[in-house]
Structure 1
């Protein structure tokens, strides 16, 4: 896990709000395309998006790409997805269910990343 990142997107909703999910990953990919490091943090209900293939059915249509395609581009370009441990416990999401490409972090990590980032987008 990076100790600092230029851009942090925090996502709080699960698949009940596909617009926020799509926007979070669209902006994170844009940050990477502009040469910044980028992180998306899954918090509260968004931890339900952490299992592999959880984004596969999310597609809000043009001009946006499907969420799974955005996640693939984000990971390919060096983005990192982090999952809040306390939120996982609260939502009964087991560590074994998390996409192995993602890292689990604490509340202290969230604060550290947000305080050191150049910019952030909080989708709550």
Structure 2
């Protein structure tokens, strides 16, 4: 059971929500909570290698190419919707190695079993 489950549906078109999702995930991990981010819809693009270089909303926030690796290094899990990948033309071989591909039933289980959730759409 994860302490904080963050669901995200946006990519660079809503860089603010992307940045907030990873900032909050990192903050949860820093406070000793477990955290997972589920990428749905357009957000599956974020799991592609080097895609994080596209997002930097400026101070006081860190750029995504710092937030994403920090999230993973601190023990955060990055989960990516398989159907959304197919729909958006994102290929498994283009994902960062730490990505965990999941299905719709997995998303439901994660939502129902998490202690708290944050949805950024």
Task: Tell me the TM-score normalized by structure 2.
Answer: 0.96
Q: Identify the residue that residue 70 of structure 2 maps to in structure 1.
A: 73
Q: Identify the residue that residue 94 of structure 1 maps to in structure 2.
A: 91
1:46 equivalenced with 2:33 (yes/no): no
Q: Identify the residue that residue 14 of structure 1 maps to in structure 2.
A: 11
- Once the two structures are TM-superposed, the CA of residue 57 in structure 1 deviates from its matched residue by 2.4
Instruction: Write the distance in 1 (CA, Å) between the matches of 2:109 and 2:102.
Output: 11
Q: Identify the residue that residue 110 of structure 1 maps to in structure 2.
A: 107
- Once the two structures are TM-superposed, the CA of residue 94 in structure 1 deviates from its matched residue by 1.4
Q: Identify the residue that residue 33 of structure 1 maps to in structure 2.
A: 30
Divergent runs of 4+, >3 A: none
Instruction: Write the distance in 2 (CA, Å) between the matches of 1:121 and 1:58.
Output: 20
Instruction: Write the distance in 1 (CA, Å) between the matches of 2:54 and 2:86.
Output: 25
Q: Is the helix fraction higher in 1 or 2?
A: 2
RMSD over aligned CA atoms reads 0.9
Q: Specify the SS of the correspondent of 1:22.
A: helix
Count matched residues. Answer: 121
Task: Tell me the TM-score normalized by structure 1.
Answer: 0.93
Q: Identify the residue that residue 2 of structure 2 maps to in structure 1.
A: 5
Instruction: Write the distance in 2 (CA, Å) between the matches of 1:6 and 1:111.
Output: 15
Unaligned runs of 5+ in 2: none
